[in-house]
Each structure stands twice: as C-alpha cells, then as structure tokens.
Amino acid sequence: MTRSLTSAERALTTLRDMIMGGELRPGARLGEVELADRLGVSRTPVREALSRLAAEGLVEVVPNRGARVARWTVAELEGVFDLRSSLEPQLTAYAVPNAGPADVEELDALATRMHEVGSPGPHQDLHALVPLNRAFHDRLVALAAHPTLATALAAAIHPPIVRRNFLTYDEASLRRSLGHHSEIVAAVRAGDPEWARAVMTSHIANARAVMVRAARLQAAGEEETP
C-alpha cells in the first residue's frame, strides 16, 4: 500500500513539473503506457496522477480519447484577462483604506521575497515564486472585504494559467511584474487607492501580453505543422 502511494505521488510530482516546465507542451497526448515506461512505474499511479492533474486544470481528459496537457485558446485567455482587468484593480483599490501597518509589512515582505526568488540569475526559483504571488494577490483580495467581487474573481482565475505566467515570461516582462508588486506596496503604504488600481491594471496587462503572445505563437506553429 505504501509503495503504491509513493509511486502515485512521485508520478504526480514528476508529471506536474514536466508540464509546468514545458517539457510536456500544451496539447501533448498523455498515454498511460508511455508515461508509465518513462517514469518507471505501473499504469495505476500514472492514472491516479492524471486524474489529480485534471482536477488542478493542468490536464484534460477526453472520453474515449485519453488525456492531454490542457491548453487555452487565444480567445479563452483574453476572456480570463478581461475579467481580471475588470475585477482585480477594483479590489486592489478597495484594499488600500483597509490596510493597516501590519498588512503593509506583510505585503512588503512578500514582494521582497518574490524579488529574491524570481529575479533572473543562478538562484532563481520560479516554482517558489508561484505561492508567494498567490499569497500577495490573495491578501489584497482579503483586505478589500468585498465578497461579491472576490467570488467573481476566484471564478475568473484559472490557477494553471497563473502558474504558467512566470514560466512564459521573458526577462523584461518578469522584472516588470516583480516591480509591480513593489509599487503596489508603495501605493498601499501611501494610502492611494487610485495609484494601486493603476499599477494592478498594468500588472494584469503585462501578464496578458505575455500569455496571449505565447498562445498565438503556439497556434501559428500548430498551423504550420503538417
């Protein structure tokens, strides 16, 4: 029993890393037999891993056709970012008057840590950046104290898309994104909701440009493939 669970967890971690790292590209077929051979496990832990990855939104399971790495069309990505750009800047503005000194320090610590792990260089760890980024954005949403908008935003955000943001960024886009977090902290500290709203709007536009460009390039490549 322990061996089976260990194999399943190992398969899950390995496949997740392969998808997030780009080794398994969006749309790639995920055959259980091939993956089991590749990972050195039986088909059962692979099947369990694919089921969990499907729940995370990283894998699509099509009846009678098997599993493949999830992908999003340009239109789907634009829809996600349209919703985010409508909701998240407003929530960020609402958060400003509710943020006390301790909240500002918490946001500042998260932004600083994101610079430490996300800045290009030998110590960069993009996987560590993901939960820090989520904590930063979640804290702003919590401070906004607006459940209706928060629920709408949660429905609009697809975690796999957010995770892939950082893996898709070029160096300039990544540095810009990290800088936005620090500037949002500055706006919150200054008590300026309009400044915070403007920076969050730019932050989302930066992510949108990166992800939509990547999706368009992928679509063009698929069209050229015979």
Please indicate, yes or no, whether residues 91 and 186 belong to a single structural domain of this protein.
Answer: yes
Contact between 153 and 92 under an 8 Å Cβ cutoff? The reply is no
Rounded to whole angstroms, the Cα distance separating 75 from 164 reads 17
In 145-192, where does DSSP find H-type helix?
Answer: 147-156, 159-168, 171-190
pLDDT at 3 over 50: no
Domain that holds residue 131: 74-224
What is the C-alpha end-to-end distance of the chain, expressed in Å? 46
Residue ending a domain, among 25, 40, 69, is 69
Each residue's pLDDT tens digit, 35-52: 999 999 999 999 999 998
Q: pLDDT over 70 for what percent of the chain?
A: 91
Mean pLDDT throughout 151-160?
80
Please indicate, yes or no, whether residues 113 and 178 belong to a single structural domain of this protein.
Answer: yes
Each residue's pLDDT tens digit, 123-144: 899 888 888 999 999 999 999 9
Provide the mean pLDDT of the chain.
88
Which of 108, 160, 96, 153 has its CA nearest to residue 132?
Answer: 108
Please indicate, yes or no, whether residues 32 and 90 belong to a single structural domain of this protein.
Answer: no
Please indicate, yes or no, whether residues 99 and 177 belong to a single structural domain of this protein.
Answer: yes
Q: Count the domains in the chain.
A: 2
Please indicate, yes or no, whether residues 133 and 146 belong to a single structural domain of this protein.
Answer: yes
Q: Residue 139's domain is classified under what CATH number?
A: 1.20.120.530
